[in-house]
């Protein structure tokens, strides 16, 4: 008999589950499986409106940050044309800002850097779930069942 997998939301920390539920209401899918691009912890695909979270993020204890990062990209995608910044202003310690800058310069192209910076900044905010739910509701169109 095949092993039954828990629903994706069950793999998320309880505090971010309301965001996953809202994303689903707005037509986004959350999948807990390794994306075909094997070397990533998380990925958002604009065309399929799918967030992938690699199961390895659970034992690494980065599932919350990974999910929030990809959720930022999902919400950024709710703009005409191409993804755009949410415009949320948050602050982080200078050392964190420096680390983010280093990651952006070495791993991301010029076009994606601003979007990625916003995702990195928001993923660590204690109120990220509330920020993203508000942004989702104001930027995205609700999908009818």
> Residue 68's closest CA among 79, 53, 84, 56?
53
- pLDDT for res 7: 55
DSSP state of 2: P
Alpha-carbon span 56 to 114, nearest angstrom: 27
How much of the chain is in helix, strand and coil states, percent to nearest 5?
50, 10, 45
> Strand 50-53 to strand 29-32: parallel, antiparallel, or no bridges (unpaired)?
parallel
**pLDDT in tens for each of the 145 residues of the chain?**
444 445 556 679 999 999 999 999 999 999 988 877 778 899 999 999 999 999 999 999 999 999 999 999 999 999 887 899 999 988 888 888 888 888 888 877 777 888 999 999 999 899 999 999 999 999 998 875 5
The pTM is what? 0.88
Name all domains of the chain by residue range, CATH numbers in brackets: 14-139 (3.30.2010)
Residue 4: how many CA atoms within 13 Å on its side-chain side? Answer: 3
């Amino acid at each position: 008999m095949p092993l039954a997998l828990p629903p994706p939301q069950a793999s998320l920390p309880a505090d971010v589950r309301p965001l996953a539920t809202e994303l689903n209401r707005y037509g986004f899918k959350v999948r807990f499986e390794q994306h075909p691009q094997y070397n990533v912890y998380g990925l958002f695909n604009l065309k399929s409106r799918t967030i992938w979270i690699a199961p390895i993020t659970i034992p690494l204890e980065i599932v919350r940050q990974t999910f929030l990062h990809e959720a930022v990209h999902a919400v950024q995608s709710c703009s005409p044309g191409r993804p755009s910044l949410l415009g949320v202003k948050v602050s982080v310690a200078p050392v964190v800002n420096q680390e983010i800058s280093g990651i952006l310069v070495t791993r991301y192209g010029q076009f994606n850097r601003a979007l990625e910076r916003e995702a990195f900044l928001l993923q660590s905010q204690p109120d990220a779930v509330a920020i993203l739910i508000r942004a989702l509701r104001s930027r995205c169109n609700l999908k009818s069942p």
